[in-house]
Chains A and B, each alone.
Chain A
Amino acid sequence: MNAPAVLSPRPMAGPAPSPVADTRLTVPGMRCAGCIAKIERGLVALDGVGEARVNLSARRVAVRHDDTLDPARLIAALRDLGFEAQVVGDTGVCADRTRGGADGEMRRLLRALAVAGFGMMNVMLLSISVWSGADGATRDVFHWLSAMIALPVLAYSGRVFFASAAGALRRGRTNMDVPISIGIVLAAALSLYETATGGAHAYFDGVVMLLFFLLAGRALDEGMRGRTRAGIGALLSRMGRDAGVIQADGSVRRMKAGELEPGMVMLVAAGEALAADGVVEGGSAMLDNAMLTGESAPEHAAPGARVHAGAINMHAPIRVRITGTGDDTAIAEIARLMDEAGQSRSRYVRISERAARIYAPAVHTLAALAFAGWMIAGAGWHQSLTIAIAVLIITCPCAIGLAVPAAQVVTTGALIRRGLLIKDGSALERLAEIDMVFLDKTGTLTLGELRADIAGLDGDAGAIALALAQASRHPLSIGLARALTAAGVVPAAVGAIVEREGVGVTGRHDGVFVALERPSTDGCDGPCVQLRIGADTHAIRFSDRPRGDVEATLDALRAMKLEPRILSGDSRAAVDAMAQTLRIPGEGGADPAHKLAILNDAKAQGRRPLMVGDGLNDGPALAAAHAAIAPGTASDASQQAADAVFTGERLFPVALAIAAARRTMRIVRQNLALAVCYNVAAVPLALMGRVTPLVAAIAMSTSSLIVVANALRLARVPRLPGGAAT
């Protein structure tokens, strides 16, 4: 089951009983035994980590650690081990409760399913004897035994439906569980009456079997649900929680984000997240704005620059005069937009509900008509009621209840092995209806991180560059160090290393002056650093590479009659250049509200847009789109707003998701058609009063098996035109 790992109650290692916290991380990239061992051992090796337990089915890690350990350190440790990771929800009580709730619901369904299965087997054992010719006293005893097994089973396992039906009726509405409950109760009552009066036909087997198949469908559906999208709170938690405010006497006092007011001046240290919007008053620093703009390159903020809550100060302390706090910050505005945009999606009506809305009244009318018809024909109330109940049983929506979730569960399982996580069944249904695609640029079409071009560095230069880069916390240095380490370069011995703010890192290697510094002339466009060794200089360029299979993916999307286009917050020039290379339309310079407006325009024209994006600035657009996909590197909020998350460096899962979703819906429609065909064939028999418990049992089980077998065809992932190896 896709339940998070349960931490075993083993005591923590180490004597210090400091407060313990549990953090759950989702790690989509793990898929083998080696990964489990690497992650568990790697995390436990960290200071303060008591226990790490991987759940491979759910692609999650549950970590028990000291309260003082920042979950960001766990993510960093996992990145060093080679895995992308995200914290799941908040570690707060509230998040735990919702998770426990979803988990508990699944367990409740499974228990009900197990009991129904037990009852079905034993009642069937007795029924087969009756069908094979037991009669007289033996038949009566077997019927009584069946009743003694079936009635407690119905009372226990049927609660799932009874509770839901009662809840709906109390609110004056009806749902699929109302006809199911009525059918179960009526059929059980009639069978009991038959048993008591020594009648020939008792439907205990049919009722318990019906319950079993319905619960199987319900449990599959629940397995699809799991991950909710109520994650706006997580977004706001990325804002700084408190800030150092400079007092009138020059001292600094920590204040909670809620106590900040416009006009105050806060001191933002390196590595700290801003707790409010403001204007830089003193100092200058590189700010990581990736959360807001999706732009991977840090931005330089000098006095006078506007800075936003949630941005992270990358290196030097700055003083910021607050202009907006709490709900007035740009990030809160995005959260509000996302919240509103997400409303439309929650109104989406799933195909099983649409089917139920037609199906349930039709079945009830039919059963009522059968009863009335036979009464008028003078059959007597007992026979008329028996026939009406046979109609209810034979039209039971087992096959329909299984048709949708079985297909969706199989597809989701196949896709997760391709690095694509689908959030729920409705996501698959909406993905299948997509008719246009908007793609963000940075982080979606491109990899979203600056890669150093280290081809020009020969062995010695590379070794020196690595030694210098390792000594600096500047983002470009970190990127360069990562690229060189990945290429297997070993750092050279460099002494007397000094980092000078805004200039670079200098040192001495074999008596030669070496430096990694800002380029002396603006020789290269884009981000770039200069490596100086004595009198020689090398320019090292940084660029954000496009994903390797962008062209193939776009071809596949075009082949599916979708119109891919770029919608990005980056500069128009950068977007136009990319759009031209890829030969697709593109629009740049779009802020979150503008993106949202474009999505809403498309929807107003009756289109069903797919949004693929990663940044927080894409958040509202992701939430508003008919369906949304985010890469695994996206911000938490974007992943929460998205219907599907893909991992790895390839873009192709986007095309694969749409193709798989369409194929799933084809199978779902086939399944529904099969279920209807079966009813069309079986209902006349029931109306004529020819349905015995034996016929009902055979019809019900074969139709359910056919539907499940048809769904299993989805286990193979589709091949796409233009898609290289999928």
Chain B
Amino acid sequence: MSVLAFLIPVALGMGGAGLVLFFWAMRDGQFDDLDGAAHRILIDDEDDVA
């Protein structure tokens, strides 16, 4: 039983961390343009454009 007192908070903490990370990513606009992100990696940086 005592191991549960340790494991359950760990499980919840990891899940919670994932949730917080997802909220941050969404607020930061990480999911705004999924296709674009996949393609942008292919663009050569000629100069500093927008």
- Give the interface of A toward B (CB within 8 A): 1, 3-6, 32-34, 36-37, 40-41, 44, 50-58, 107, 110-111, 114-115, 118, 121-122, 125-126, 138, 145, 149
| Residues in B whose Cβ lies below 8 Å from that of A121 | 15
Query: Does B8 belong to the interface (CB within 8 Å)?
Result: yes
Contact A114 B23 (CB under 8 A): yes
Closest approach, in angstroms, between the C-beta of B47 and any C-beta of chain A? 9
| Residues 4-49 (chain B) with a chain A CB within 8 angstroms | 8, 11-12, 15-16, 18-19, 22-23, 26, 29, 31-36, 39-44, 46, 49
CA distance A149 to B18 in the complex (A): 15
Contact B32 A122 (CB under 8 A): no
Classify chain B: how many residues form its interface, as a range: 20 to 34
Contact A57 B35 (CB under 8 A): yes
Known: A32-B39, A57-B32. 17 other contacts (CB 8 A): A5-B29, A5-B33, A33-B42, A36-B39, A40-B49, A40-B50, A44-B49, A51-B50, A54-B36, A56-B39, A110-B26, A110-B31, A114-B22, A121-B15, A126-B8, A138-B1, A145-B8
| Residues in A whose Cβ lies below 8 Å from that of B39 | 32-33, 36, 56
CA distance A458 to B6 in the complex (A): 86
| Residues in A whose Cβ lies below 8 Å from that of B26 | 107, 110-111
Number of inter-chain CB pairs below 8 Å: 72
Main secondary structure of the interface of B (DSSP, over half): helix
Q: List 29 A-B contacts (CB under 8 A).
A: A1-B31, A3-B31, A4-B32, A6-B29, A6-B32, A32-B39, A33-B39, A33-B41, A33-B42, A34-B43, A36-B39, A36-B40, A44-B50, A51-B50, A54-B33, A56-B33, A56-B39, A57-B32, A57-B34, A57-B36, A111-B26, A114-B23, A115-B19, A118-B15, A118-B16, A122-B12, A122-B15, A125-B11, A149-B12
Closest approach, in angstroms, between the C-beta of A108 and any C-beta of chain B? 11
CA distance A93 to B22 in the complex (A): 30
CA distance A32 to B33 in the complex (A): 13
CA distance A114 to B22 in the complex (A): 8
Contact B36 A1 (CB under 8 A): no
Closest approach, in angstroms, between the C-beta of A26 and any C-beta of chain B? 14
CA distance A34 to B43 in the complex (A): 7
Closest approach, in angstroms, between the C-beta of A184 and any C-beta of chain B? 20
Closest approach, in angstroms, between the C-beta of B28 and any C-beta of chain A? 9
CA distance A149 to B46 in the complex (A): 51
| Residues in A whose Cβ lies below 8 Å from that of B18 | 118
| Residues in B whose Cβ lies below 8 Å from that of A107 | 26
Nearest A residue to B1 via CB reads A138
Task: Report which of A32, A40, A56, A118 forms a contact with B19, defined as CB distance below 8 A.
Answer: A118
Closest approach, in angstroms, between the C-beta of B45 and any C-beta of chain A? 10
Contact A55 B33 (CB under 8 A): yes
CA distance A121 to B18 in the complex (A): 12
CA distance A3 to B36 in the complex (A): 12
CA distance A3 to B26 in the complex (A): 11
Q: Known contacts A53-B50, A122-B12, A122-B15: does B35 contact A37 (CB below 8 Å)?
A: no
| Residues in B whose Cβ lies below 8 Å from that of A32 | 39
Closest approach, in angstroms, between the C-beta of B19 and any C-beta of chain A? 5
CA distance A443 to B41 in the complex (A): 37
| Residues in B whose Cβ lies below 8 Å from that of A4 | 32
Closest approach, in angstroms, between the C-beta of A152 and any C-beta of chain B? 12
Nearest B residue to A56 via CB reads B36
Nearest B residue to A59 via CB reads B35
| Residues in B whose Cβ lies below 8 Å from that of A138 | 1
CA distance A122 to B17 in the complex (A): 13
CA distance A53 to B41 in the complex (A): 15
CA distance A44 to B49 in the complex (A): 8
CA distance A115 to B46 in the complex (A): 42
Closest approach, in angstroms, between the C-beta of B32 and any C-beta of chain A? 5
| Residues in A whose Cβ lies below 8 Å from that of B31 | 1, 3, 110
CA distance A222 to B12 in the complex (A): 30
Nearest B residue to A115 via CB reads B19
Contact B50 A52 (CB under 8 A): yes
CA distance A233 to B15 in the complex (A): 47
CA distance A596 to B18 in the complex (A): 55
Nearest B residue to A103 via CB reads B32
Q: Which of B19, B34, B35 has the most CB of A within 10 A?
A: B35
Nearest B residue to A3 via CB reads B32
Q: Known contacts A53-B50, A121-B15: does B22 contact A36 (CB below 8 Å)?
A: no
Contact A33 B32 (CB under 8 A): no
Closest approach, in angstroms, between the C-beta of A7 and any C-beta of chain B? 10
Closest approach, in angstroms, between the C-beta of B8 and any C-beta of chain A? 7
CA distance A107 to B26 in the complex (A): 8
Closest approach, in angstroms, between the C-beta of A633 and any C-beta of chain B? 24
| Residues in A whose Cβ lies below 8 Å from that of B19 | 114-115, 118
Contact B34 A1 (CB under 8 A): yes
Q: Known contacts A33-B43, A138-B1: does B35 contact A111 (CB below 8 Å)?
A: no
CA distance A52 to B36 in the complex (A): 14
Contact A37 B33 (CB under 8 A): no
Contact A58 B33 (CB under 8 A): yes
Closest approach, in angstroms, between the C-beta of A44 and any C-beta of chain B? 5
CA distance A374 to B43 in the complex (A): 68
Q: Known contacts A1-B31, A44-B49: does B15 contact A36 (CB below 8 Å)?
A: no
CA distance A122 to B16 in the complex (A): 10
Closest approach, in angstroms, between the C-beta of A102 and any C-beta of chain B? 14
| Residues in A whose Cβ lies below 8 Å from that of B22 | 114
| Residues in B whose Cβ lies below 8 Å from that of A149 | 12
Report the 7 A-B pairs with minimum CB-CB distance, sorted nearest first: A56-B36, A33-B42, A33-B39, A56-B35, A55-B33, A57-B35, A51-B50
Closest approach, in angstroms, between the C-beta of A186 and any C-beta of chain B? 27
| Residues in A whose Cβ lies below 8 Å from that of B29 | 5-6
CA distance A5 to B42 in the complex (A): 19
| Residues in A whose Cβ lies below 8 Å from that of B11 | 122, 125
Contact B32 A36 (CB under 8 A): no
CA distance A651 to B23 in the complex (A): 43
CA distance A138 to B15 in the complex (A): 22
CA distance A278 to B19 in the complex (A): 63
Closest approach, in angstroms, between the C-beta of B10 and any C-beta of chain A? 11
Closest approach, in angstroms, between the C-beta of B9 and any C-beta of chain A? 10
CA distance A121 to B22 in the complex (A): 15
Closest approach, in angstroms, between the C-beta of A405 and any C-beta of chain B? 18
Nearest B residue to A50 via CB reads B50
Contact B23 A111 (CB under 8 A): yes
CA distance A673 to B15 in the complex (A): 36
Contact B40 A33 (CB under 8 A): yes
Closest approach, in angstroms, between the C-beta of B39 and any C-beta of chain A? 4
Closest approach, in angstroms, between the C-beta of A314 and any C-beta of chain B? 34
CA distance A118 to B16 in the complex (A): 7
| Residues in A whose Cβ lies below 8 Å from that of B16 | 118
Nearest A residue to B32 via CB reads A3
